[in-house]
Amino acid sequence: MIYTLKNAKIYANKKIEKKDILIVDGKITKIDLDINEGKIIDCKNKLIAPAFIDPHVHSREPGYEYKETIATVTKAAAKGGYTKVFLMPNLNPVPSNLRDLNLILNIIKKDALIDCYQLASITKNQTGKGELSDIEFMAPYVVGFSDDGKGIVDSKMMYEAMLKAKKYKKAIIAHAEDETLLYGGVIHKGKYSEEKNLPGILSASETVQVARDLVLAELTKVHYHLCHVSAKETLDLVKYYKDRDVNVTVEATPHHIMLNEDDLKDNGVYKVNPPLRSKEDQKAIVEAIKNGLIDMIATDHAPHSEEEKSKGLLNSSFGMVGIEISFSLLYTYLVKQNKVSLEKLLDMMSINISKAFEIENNEIIIGNMANLVIIDLDKEFIIDKNKFVSKGKNTPFNGYKCFGQIIMTISKGEIIYELQ
């Protein structure tokens, strides 16, 4: 198949300029002005960027298909402009051995619309303690190891996991949480928790474990990736260790960037782990994006049933969805408010992730597979959770006004999503 994407502005080589893109048999073969080969797709007044990569997604299959499946989550990702996602191991069975990992990989091969990079667990059955997973046997088939949803309790276990991950050139992808400091918390321990007499989660529960992990990461020289950073004190630690050339990367989520405890209501859609923290924490996260301390955007897309999210802050499940709306939210509330450049946002949603994890990139260069997202930056729309492709509707952003509509997503030259 041969076609030309015409009249767009493209983001390539760190700059945005008007060019056409010729795609032949799935690959980018020419980038120039006035190309007129094959089928013509007019992209006037649109931006073409490298398709997005999400390093933190919950597929829920196998084990929890009523929340989400590989098929539905990859369709939702395509609608959001993504052609690659990392899938977390909170599944049943947990991929802590090669047999159970292969079960998941076979579902991905059968049902996935886009490229899926499955993670395996650090500990057997993702308990955060006990026994390490079969890291050496699973390493060739995964991008990294994570016990996302649980912190690794035992320091010796984390140290030994890092040694193995380093040996096999894989990342430790950490949900940093000292469970001894949780106190049954359901939201951030701060103003709102005190006013409503709700059990709070200390910021220190994150920061204490990150401190330990960064000491061990420096010792083992592993690639240590910090999931969903939420606390300003954590960022201070990250800066210290990045300045020491420790191989640490950090992700932030749209909800931690855009919301804080002042936005809380007694509604389960606001309950997430780590929780929405103080306004000062939120400001520190935005500042860390500006100065490059935070490397990438991850949605932590975590679908739940309506029933599971209908029990208020105290009893609802933790988690939010967001893979279909992440770019539009951040373009509207960061870029258009002059907090972050468009180029930086695009890098944080694609190029930075492929570099950090050494996976195939989506850059717009001749010879690459055409993994592209076409965006109408001027198109205004209202987020409507009832139009989500994901089974999960649990978002606090329902009704938000946004710009930056995803018009088309192209994976390996194939159009896998087009706005109707």
The answer to whether residue 77 scores a pLDDT higher than 90 is yes
Q: Mean pLDDT over residues 22-36, rounded?
A: 97
The answer to whether residue 233 scores a pLDDT higher than 90 is yes
The answer to whether residue 143 scores a pLDDT higher than 90 is yes
Catalytic-role residue among 300, 347, 376, 384? 300
Q: According to the model, what pLDDT value does residue 128 have?
A: 86
**Does 347 participate in catalysis according to the annotation?**
no
* All domains in the chain, ordered by first residue: 2-48+367-418 (2.30.40.10), 51-357 (3.20.20.140)
Q: Mean pLDDT over residues 132-141, rounded?
A: 98
The pTM (predicted TM-score) of the whole model is 0.98
3-state secondary structure string, the chain? Answer: CEEEEEEEEEEECCEEEEEEEEEECCEEEEEECCCCCCEEEECCCCEEEECEEEEEECCCCCCCCCCCCHHHHHHHHHHCCEEEEEECCCCCCCCCCHHHHHHHHHHHHHHCCCEEEECECCEHHHCCCCCECCHHHHHHHCCEECCCCCCCCCHHHHHHHHHHHHHCCCEEEECCCCHHHCCCCCEECCHHHHHHCCCEECCHHHHHHHHHHHHHHHHHCCEEEECCCCCHHHHHHHHHHHHCCCCEEEEECHHHHHCCHHHCCCCHHHCCCCCCCCHHHHHHHHHHHHCCCCCEECCCECCCCCCCCCCHHHHCCCCECCCCCHHHHHHHHHHCCCCCCHHHHHHHHHHHHHHHHCCCCCCCCCCCECCEEEEEEEEEEECCHHHCCCCCCCCCCCCCEEEEEEEEEEECCEEEEECC
Calpha distance 311→209 (Å, rounded) = 30
Q: Mean pLDDT over residues 207-231, rounded?
A: 98
Q: Mean pLDDT over residues 297-313, rounded?
A: 98
Calpha distance 397→400 (Å, rounded) = 6
Q: According to the model, what pLDDT value does residue 130 have?
A: 87
Q: Mean pLDDT over residues 146-151, rounded?
A: 93
List, edge to edge, every strand of the sheet that includes 248-252.
Answer: 144-145, 171-174, 223-226, 248-252, 296-297
